[in-house]
Structure 1
Amino acid sequence: MTTTPISTVLIVHAHPEPTSFSTAQAHGACRALEAQGLHVDLLDLYAQAWQPVLDRHEFPAFDGPFKPQREQWSAVRDGTLPDDVRSDLDRVLAADLLVLSFPLWWFSMPAILKGWLDRVFVMGGVAGGDAGLFETARLAGRRAVALVTTGGPAAAFAPDGAFGDIDEFLFHIHRGVFEFVGYDALTPVITYGPAHLDDAARADALRAAADAFRDIEHRPSAATSRTRRSLAG
């Protein structure tokens, strides 16, 4: 599969606190990407009070039970997607790289980000039907990466750590979101336990995260990293 060179990036950020480390990390990634001459579109879901709930009321009236995927297919076909969904879907389709920026809450993403995916990753728009799945999906050839903070230290997220392997917590995002719609899922950029770091260590962590985006064109895929770890183990 041919990989599209990165020229346009969409960062979708989900943290309710503007002064959080997670927010600073997202803005650091943005600056690192822009310094390379890339166009960066930053979508701050909490700042925009984004409505995350997918329900029947965002579709034209219909009879019978609510089947979200069916209604999304119909809305894509008929051009009746809600304005906020259509706008953000267009932003997704315009980007060569998608960055999902979020804190790991309950070993997953915040509800507002999951709701954004529920509403914006519409069936028939990014995958499914004529859009295809996995290698034939609409976003094939593009890349996506998770930019994450955790509450616990790195040792807790090792395969033999107290919480378990971080790759297992992110698998549903890498395989069930990114790869499902065609993206090459890149190795995640993770800062472990920033709340437990002193100021100097936090500054170092922010620089390390930004450095990852300065070399984003050469970042390995998450699948490749998983395979190497499996062989090493």
Structure 2
Amino acid sequence: MNILLVYAHPEPKSLNGSLKNFSVKRLEDAGHVVRVSDLYAMKWKASLDADDSMDRRSDMRFDPALDSKRAFETGRQSEDIALEQDKLRWADAVILQFPLWWFSMPAILKGWVERVYAYGFAYGVGEHSDARWGDRYGEGTMAGKRAMLIVTAGGWESHYSPRGINGPMDDVLFPIQHGILYYPGFDVLPPFVIYRTSRIDEAGFSRIRDALGQRLDDLWNTTPIPFRPQNGGAYDIPQLTLRPEVAPDQVGFAAHTG
């Protein structure tokens, strides 16, 4: 299988750097073809702006969505964006690896998403009507591909437990897993999360490596998170709210899995 690992950490000698190297070797040893987008090493431009369209007139008002759509449709996106889109088309599975900084991904990875997920490529696709509201949330360009997060966090696991001060990790990661991955169609696997990163010794790293290796070995056998597909009957369209009979006692993020 073809696997794209999008990696966002500025220090090659960090825990993240070691885990990235381990993951690549483990996957390649299993016969997979791996490509790595090391965003800091690539000096990836994080900001979505008018320069992302190669022939945009300087006197035109910049519209992030419409400019993205126009550049994608005409093949006039900046080369770095087009290359990353080609990697996504090529990949059977995508792994996003990053440290949890301020309850989200590093800005450079968010910028990768904002620029690479062009209008017409990752969103704005499919029929929009009273029967369907586009190909998204379980459908779309990435349908049939798998995705998984590898996340490191400095806090204790209990801090991210159901009653923990930081909120449940599943809720913290919901905008990424449901919004960034499931939205364009990926089957999203449960995340691999490492806690208390500053306290990991050699024995701890060995245990983490073994557990991660097993998750990578099971990449095509692991059951995805059961997010509800948008056009599968659970939601009223075009309101895009759950039908009254679906999870009637649940609200918030948890209501969208079942």
TM-aligned CA deviation for residue 120 of structure 1: 0.7
Alpha carbons 2:148, 2:189 under 8 Å: kept: yes
State the match for 1:4 in structure 2: none
- 1:20 paired with 2:23, answer no
Using the alignment, how far apart are the partners of 1:193 and 1:154 within structure 2?
8
- 1:61 paired with 2:56, answer yes
TM-aligned CA deviation for residue 66 of structure 1: 1.7
- 1:87 paired with 2:83, answer yes
TM-aligned CA deviation for residue 46 of structure 1: 0.6
- 1:73 paired with 2:76, answer no
- 1:140 paired with 2:167, answer no
What SS is found at the alignment partner of 1:114? helix
Using the alignment, how far apart are the partners of 1:200 and 1:136 within structure 2?
42
Alpha carbons 2:4, 2:37 under 8 Å: kept: yes
Q: Aligned partner of 2:87: which letter?
A: R
- Cα RMSD of the aligned pairs, angstroms, is 1.8
Superposed CA offset, 1:167-226 (max 9, x none): 0110001111101101011100111112112221122212211221011111221237xx
What SS is found at the alignment partner of 1:99? strand
Using the alignment, how far apart are the partners of 2:219 and 2:72 within structure 1?
32
Alignment of 1:211-222 (within 5 A): 211-222=214-225
TM-aligned CA deviation for residue 64 of structure 1: 4.2
Alignment of 1:51-200 (within 5 A): 51-59=45-53, 60-62=55-57, 63-130=59-126, 132-200=135-203
Q: Aligned partner of 1:57: which letter?
A: D
Identity of aligned residues (%): 33
Question: Where do 5+ consecutive residues of structure 1 fail to align?
Answer: 1-6
Alpha carbons 1:191, 1:209 under 8 Å: kept: no
* Distance change >3 Å, CA 136–CA 162, structure 1 → 2: closer
State the match for 1:32 in structure 2: 26
What SS is found at the alignment partner of 2:24? helix
Q: Aligned partner of 1:134: which letter?
A: Y
Using the alignment, how far apart are the partners of 1:8 and 1:20 within structure 2?
26
Using the alignment, how far apart are the partners of 1:129 and 1:150 within structure 2?
35
Structure number with higher helix proportion? 1
Q: What TM-score, normalized to structure 1?
A: 0.89
Using the alignment, how far apart are the partners of 2:203 and 2:10 within structure 1?
24
Asked which structure has the greater CA Rg, the reply is 2
TM-aligned CA deviation for residue 82 of structure 1: 0.6
Query: Displaced runs of 4+ in structure 1, greater than 4 A?
Result: none
Question: Where do 5+ consecutive residues of structure 2 fail to align?
Answer: 127-133, 228-246, 248-253
Q: Which has the higher contact order (CA 8 A, sep 6+)?
A: 1
State the match for 1:201 in structure 2: 204
Q: Aligned partner of 1:126: which letter?
A: A
Q: Aligned partner of 2:202: which letter?
A: D
Alpha carbons 2:138, 2:187 under 8 Å: kept: no
Alpha carbons 1:134, 1:140 under 8 Å: kept: no
Using the alignment, how far apart are the partners of 1:35 and 1:51 within structure 2?
32
TM-aligned CA deviation for residue 13 of structure 1: 0.2
What SS is found at the alignment partner of 1:27? helix
Using the alignment, how far apart are the partners of 1:42 and 1:104 within structure 2?
19
Using the alignment, how far apart are the partners of 1:108 and 1:203 within structure 2?
26
Task: Tell which deviates more after alignment, 34-43 or 97-106.
Answer: 34-43
Q: Aligned partner of 1:69: which letter?
A: A
Superposed CA offset, 1:94-116 (max 9, x none): 10101000000001000000000
